[in-house]
Amino acid sequence: MNLKLAAIIFFAAIIRISALDSHDFWFDEAFTYHVAKLPLRELIQSISADNNPPFYYLIMHYLLKIGSDEIFLRIPSVAFSLATIPIIFILAKKLINTHVAKLSVLLFTISPLSIYLSTESRLHSLALLLAVAVTLSFFHLPKNLNPMKVIIFVILLTIGFYTQYYIALLLIPFTLIVLKTKRFKTKKWLVIISIPALFMLPWILYSVQTSHANCWCPNTFLSLPASLVAPAVAGVGIVTMRNFISLPFPILVLFSTISVVMLLLFLKGLLKGGEISKIYLIMLIIISSIGLFLPVFSPKGFSIFIPLYLIIVATGIDSLKTKRVLVPPLVILLGFTSVVQINNPFFRGERLKEMANIVSNDQNIPVGHTSLVTFYSSNFYTSQKQKNILITTNYLSPTTVKYIGGKKEKVNQSIDKIWLVDTIKWPNDIERQSIVDTLYREYQIKMNYQIDNIFVSLLERK
């Protein structure tokens, strides 16, 4: 199997590398860049107001000393994704069987969501790797609690805590498994998990002193369906599932078909998935319940547990008598869905690079943005050599804005020419329309471009 696994990893690498330029450097990635390039002290202060811990940003901080090209900044996510594959195989083989392990890594290799996360300069690919590694490490803890294996578990869990808060959800099903199986004494288990918690405590105490931006998390009634469908069709990043309704009918049929098939196999696998099913289901129930009352359920955040989901799907396939007949068409459907998303311009999202190329023809002319969708990406693409102004409210934390810029500004009366980059995505409609109307009263349009739903206009004062 070693050669087959190596071949799958090689195939996964080809897919992910070919998809690295499938979308422009959008808001989430540009945010990462602007935080990571700060001096260490300011980076820590800035990220303390974010809804994620600092470990990934520190990695990117040092990576930026080598290069800042958007493709280069996505390479770590590819590496983390590839490193996840053998861990998924070992975990599925240990808890279920070899056939499920093979299916799991194959599904992960071609899953649109896993491919997307591996091509984005964000923390999710690393968090995904750590979530699987922590789970595998937990099941490798022997009854006598071998010190070395305990240390590995503690280190992985601590790094996981400092990468993405959702990894803490794993402790709840882990604890329930310990209580039920009595693999080792409860007191010893509590001591073990208290160590990463103590390591995390200084960051928590520091972070809570800063006001945080609201999580852009929908209610459970939207987050739960999205989380269950995303492994088959993605739609939790630059292009969301809400946009899918505008897809051509054949593609919509394809997406609907693969979503239903994967969901049915997932439900089938829940009955046979043993400990993996329990872990995933417990976490899903907990975050769904909390998400009914508080905005904490992010489908993209929860996507770090996609390997567990896919192991459950593989278990569902393995339990069918017709599995030999089912696997080829499923792989073709899932693979074709990924090919469509990599190559179809619709899934590229906003053409931010094209927008930046237009306004950067004359870097002496400032650029006014009505939305965060374009503001931070424009700053990235113009290397901050051109003045970018956000003319609507910035909904990030004031602490973060203090360090990475983006405070709402008025257009200075002394500015004779200005680029207006306008989109209705994300800003307050009333505020945006009022500001745009004011600019059109004071300026006349000299040039006008439309890039999908982004309008780029060169304005000259009347």
Give the side-chain half-sphere CA count within 13 A for 4: 9
pTM for the model: 0.96
As a dihedral over the C-alpha atoms of residue 304, residue 309, residue 311, residue 316, rounded to 10 degrees, the angle is -170
The pLDDT of residue 1 is 59
pLDDT tens profile 390-438 = 999 999 999 999 999 999 999 988 899 999 999 999 999 999 999 999 9
pLDDT tens profile 109-131 = 999 999 999 999 999 999 999 99
The pLDDT of residue 383 is 81
Q: CA-CA distance, 126 to 104, in Å (whole number)?
A: 19
CA 304 vs CA 117, 230, 307, 345, 449: distances in Å: 9, 11, 8, 26, 38
Per-residue pLDDT of the chain (462 residues; tens, 9 = 90+): 588 899 999 999 999 999 999 999 999 999 999 999 999 999 999 998 888 999 999 999 999 999 999 999 999 999 999 999 999 999 999 999 999 999 999 999 999 999 999 999 999 999 999 999 999 999 999 888 899 999 999 999 999 999 999 999 999 999 999 999 888 888 999 999 999 999 999 999 999 888 777 788 899 999 999 999 999 999 999 999 999 999 999 999 999 999 999 999 999 999 998 999 999 999 999 999 999 999 999 999 999 999 999 999 999 999 998 988 999 999 999 999 999 999 999 999 999 999 999 999 889 999 999 999 999 999 999 987 899 999 999 999 999 999 999 999 999 888 999 999 999 999 999 999 999 999 999 999 999 999 999 999 999 999
The pLDDT of residue 216 is 81
CB 147 within 8 A of CB 99: no
Domain residue ranges in the chain: 2-348, 352-461
The pLDDT of residue 211 is 79
